[in-house]
Structure 1
Amino acid sequence: MLSKACVYGLRSSLFLASCKGDGYTSIREMSDQLDISFHFLTKILQELTGAGLMESHKGPKGGVRLTKAGSEVSLYEIVAAIDGTELFTECALGLPGCGVKKPCPLHDKWAGTRDGIRQMLEDTNLLELAEKGKKQNLRITEDGGFEWI
C-alpha cells in the first residue's frame, strides 16, 4: 500500500522525532542506524525537505532535522509528501470515475477502510509514536538493533 520510500520516510521521521535536542542529525548516521541506503535515504529526505517537513544544513555538523516539533507532524503529512494523496481518493481497482454515483464492486468496502486509514494517519503524530517506542522498547529497523537516542 505504501511505497518503500514512504515507509523509509516514516521511519526516518520517527528517528528524528526520537532524537534529543533540536540539532541536526547526520544523514550517514541515520542511514547506518536504520539500515537504509545512504543515497536512497538522501532522496527521501529531499522530498520531505521540499515539503517543508524537514530542513537540511551542509557541513561537518550538518544533517537534517524536523521543522516542527514531533507533536505537530502527523503521519499523514509524511505519507502525502512522499506518496501523494491519491491513495485516499482513488479507486482500489484503478477505475476512473469510481464513486458514489458509479461505484466499482469494491467501492463500499474500500471507501470505509481508506477513510479509516487516513483518519488514523491524521490523528497520529511522530512524538506519540516516538514516546511509545521508547516506553515499550519497540523497533524501527529490521533487526531490532535501533537504540533510542
Structure 2
Amino acid sequence: MLLSKSCVYGLRASLYLASKKDGEFYSLKDISEELEISFHFLTKILQQLTADGLMESYKGPNGGVRLSQKGKDATLFDLVVAIDGPGLITQCALGLPGCGSQEPCPLHESWVETRGSIENMLKRTSLIGIAKEGKEKHFRLTAEGQFSWQ
C-alpha cells in the first residue's frame, strides 16, 4: 500500500464529510462508528487536517468537525500531502537516500513514471467531485459497505 493507514482513514473521513449536509458539524464518535475506524486514531488524523486548515472543529456537546472552505476546494493530493507529506511523490520506491538520475535505484525509471501518474490523478481529483460520484455510483467507504451516501 502506498498510502499510510492514517492517510487512508483521513481520505475516508474527508469523503464522509464531503457527502454530508454542507455547513453542519459531525461528531467524531459518529464518524468513527459509521466508518469503522478507531475513535482515538481518527481524532489524531482529523486534528492534522484541522491544523492544515482543511477542516474546522467545534467543541462542546454539539461539537464535531466539518470541511472548511479550503477542504471543500481540496484535491485528493492536498489531503494526502496534509497527512503523509510529499514523500509519496518525492521519495525513492526503495527508500534509498539520494536516488535520482545520477544515482538511480533499480526501480527509479519505472517509479518516476508511476509516481507522476499517481500525482496527476490525485491533483485532478477533487474531494467534492469524488463524493458526488460516490453518491451516484454508491461507492463503499467501509469494509462491509454499510455506509449510506446522503
* 5+ residue gaps, structure 2: none
Cα contact 2:75–2:124 (8 A) shared by 1 = yes
Give, in angstroms, the shift of residue 70 of structure 1: 5.8
- Separation in structure 2 between the aligned mates of residue 137 and residue 90 of structure 1, nearest angstrom: 34
Which residue matches 1:38? Answer: 39
- Separation in structure 1 between the aligned mates of residue 71 and residue 85 of structure 2, nearest angstrom: 21
Single out whichever of 62-71 and 109-118 deviates more from structure 2. 62-71
Identity %: 56
Deviating runs (4+, > 4 A) in structure 1? none
Cα contact 2:53–2:71 (8 A) shared by 1 = no
Give, in angstroms, the shift of residue 69 of structure 1: 6.5
Which residue matches 1:98? Answer: 99
Give, in angstroms, the shift of residue 140 of structure 1: 0.5
- TM-score w.r.t. length of structure 1: 0.95
Cα contact 1:9–1:44 (8 A) shared by 2 = yes
Note closer, same or farther for the CA distance 1:69–1:90 as it changes in structure 2 (3 Å cut).
closer
Q: Deviations over 1:89-138 (max 9, x none)?
A: 11111111111122111110000001110111111011111111111111
Give, in angstroms, the shift of residue 21 of structure 1: 2.3
Cα contact 1:24–1:57 (8 A) shared by 2 = yes
- Separation in structure 1 between the aligned mates of residue 15 and residue 109 of structure 2, nearest angstrom: 33
Cα contact 1:47–1:82 (8 A) shared by 2 = yes
Q: Secondary structure at the match of 2:103?
A: coil
Which residue matches 2:116? Answer: 115
Note closer, same or farther for the CA distance 1:44–1:71 as it changes in structure 2 (3 Å cut).
closer
Residues 1-149 of structure 1 aligned to structure 2 (within 5 Å):
1-68=2-69, 72-149=73-150
Give, in angstroms, the shift of residue 71 of structure 1: 5.1
- What letter corresponds to residue 26 of structure 1 in structure 2? S
- TM-score w.r.t. length of structure 2: 0.95
Q: Secondary structure at the match of 1:94?
A: coil
Give, in angstroms, the shift of residue 61 of structure 1: 1.6
Give, in angstroms, the shift of residue 72 of structure 1: 1.0
- Separation in structure 2 between the aligned mates of residue 96 and residue 50 of structure 1, nearest angstrom: 29
| Number of residue pairs the alignment of both structures matches | 149
- What letter corresponds to residue 54 of structure 2 in structure 1? L
Give, in angstroms, the shift of residue 2 of structure 1: 0.6
Q: Secondary structure at the match of 1:103?
A: coil
Note closer, same or farther for the CA distance 1:71–1:57 as it changes in structure 2 (3 Å cut).
closer
